[in-house]
Amino acid sequence: MTESIKLFSVTILIVFLLRMRCDLGLTMFLASLSLSILFKIGFKSLFYNAYLTIIDPITLLLVGAVVFVYILSGILKRTKNMEGIVGSLQYLIADHRLILFLIASFLGLIPMVSGAMFSAPLVKEIGEKSRVKSEDMMLSNYWFRHVWEFIWPLIPGVALYASMLGISLSEMMVRQFPLTIIALGIGFFWMFLSIEKRNNHNKNLNDYKSHLLTFLQGVWPILLVLSLVLFLRVHLLTALSVSAILLIIVHKLSLKTLLEIIKYDIPLKVVTMIFGIMLFKQILNATNSLGSVSQFLSDMGINIWAILFVIPFLLGLLTGITAGFVGVSFPIVLPLITKNGSPNISMAMFAYLAGLSGMMLSPMHLCLALTAEYFKVDLSKLYKKLFLNVFALIIFGSIYIILFVR
């Protein structure tokens, strides 16, 4: 119980600091320090875990990938590729809201940490030209990217979930596909309610092929990254690097231009933010504090459905990643829902829905943290809209699971 209270206290501290508009990187460093003090792991252990975070290949690859997203974005802007993509899409699709959806959802098929950063530059370019509010641009990019988290087998957490339940990926996809439809429906309802439609009145149908060619000429660097990651299983950092290098060669960019991109397009705050979040996760593991939450709830004799919601939701909130809440919470909840060696699928889906909902609200979720910084969004404004979407997802998702899943 004491460990649970300590962990809840740190969670409240994070919420408070973010509410006070404290920098997320600094917030996570302070949360890590608070965890170290409350769980008495000592400053020596804190610095050692900080060292492990800094040299962790996952952290370094993530930082590299995010940096190259900014570099690729800068190159696309300076070579007018971004302008060509946006202009052609605005011609080919009259409703800019559908363009925002298509970009975010299509690129959401790439399983990568902080993947919303990949689609963010295009969404921002389209949104700014259509005079969409920054928080609406970000929420559109963030929400529609993650509708696939219920079914897309290339996402590690989804594959892990199916494996832990002992069912095939195809069965898991069929059972959970309605949850993706529900998430899409909520996203469309919010989008068409919140973002005003602005039609393109300059459309010339005779020029359709020309605009399609312009789109393909502009989007090839992004399609190259997609192909390398999805079909050749190349790491995102490598794929981004190859695409950026080819762009530099094709457009013969000068060293001066490249240095300008590095100087002006890569915010240092993003790098410190990543290290802060990864350090917090490292300290969480070092304290072994996550298991105490589930034990506390079980010992209190709380209703099983409440446990199935609270444990995955909190772990989704604290870890900010699908594989995180699945890997930690399902070993805890599966024994509670398993009879004769087979888990209750409806209960498992409810637990997954809860965990994903917590992850979508998590300040530790790198997609949320990084794109909030990219779009320069006040998190308090964003959370007002995001919470309503997540709440609707929980309600309608639960209704579907309770009524139709057996």
Rounded to an integer, what distance in angstroms lies between the CA atom of residue 213 and that of residue 88?
9
Q: Which two tokens stand for residue 142?
A: 């963030």
CB burial of 196-229 (b: ≥16 within 10 Å; e: otherwise) equals eeeeeeeeeeeeeeebeebbeebbbbbebbbebb
- N- to C-terminal Cα separation, the chain: 35
Rounded to an integer, what distance in angstroms lies between the CA atom of residue 105 and that of residue 352?
21
Residue 198 has pLDDT above 80, yes or no: no
pLDDT value of residue 200: 55
Task: Determine the length of the chain.
Answer: 406
> What is the tens place of the pLDDT at every residue in 123-157?
888 888 778 888 899 999 999 999 999 988 767 78
Q: Would you say 3 and 252 are in contact if contact means Cβ atoms under 8 Å apart?
A: no
> What is the tens place of the pLDDT at every residue in 327-349?
778 877 887 788 887 889 999 99
Q: Which residues fall within 8 angstroms of residue 44, CB to CB, at 6 or more apart? A: none
Residue 374 has pLDDT above 90, yes or no: no
pTM: 0.72
Instruction: Locate the domains of the chain by residue range.
Output: 146-198+288-406
> What is the tens place of the pLDDT at every residue in 265-287?
887 877 887 888 788 878 887 88
CA atoms within 13 A on the CB side of 242: 15
Please state, in angstroms and as integers, the Cα–Cα distance from residue 255 to each residue in 36, 75, 244, 245, following that order.
45, 12, 14, 12
pLDDT above 70 coverage of the chain, percent: 93
Rounded to an integer, what distance in angstroms lies between the CA atom of residue 360 and that of residue 138?
13
**Max avg pLDDT among 13-17, 114-118, 192-196, 297-301:** 192-196
Mean pLDDT of the chain: 84
> What is the tens place of the pLDDT at every residue in 224-241?
987 887 788 788 789 889
Rounded to an integer, what distance in angstroms lies between the CA atom of residue 24 and that of residue 364?
9
Q: What is the mean pLDDT of residues 313-323?
A: 84
DSSP of 99-124, one letter per residue? HHHHHHHHHTTS--TTTHHHHHHHHH
Please state, in angstroms and as integers, the Cα–Cα distance from residue 390 to each residue in 65, 103, 360, following that order.
28, 21, 7
Q: Which two tokens stand for residue 361?
A: 């609200």
Rounded to an integer, what distance in angstroms lies between the CA atom of residue 361 and that of residue 384?
11
Measure the CA dihedral 329/332/334/340, to 10°. 170
Q: Would you say 150 and 186 are in contact if contact means Cβ atoms under 8 Å apart?
A: no
Rounded to an integer, what distance in angstroms lies between the CA atom of residue 321 and that of residue 362?
9
Q: What is the mean pLDDT of residues 16-21?
A: 74
Q: Which residues fall within 8 angstroms of residue 225, CB to CB, at 6 or more apart? A: 72, 110, 118, 236, 239, 240, 243
pLDDT value of residue 146: 94
Q: Measuring CA to CA, which residue among 288, 276, 280 is closest to residue 24? A: 276
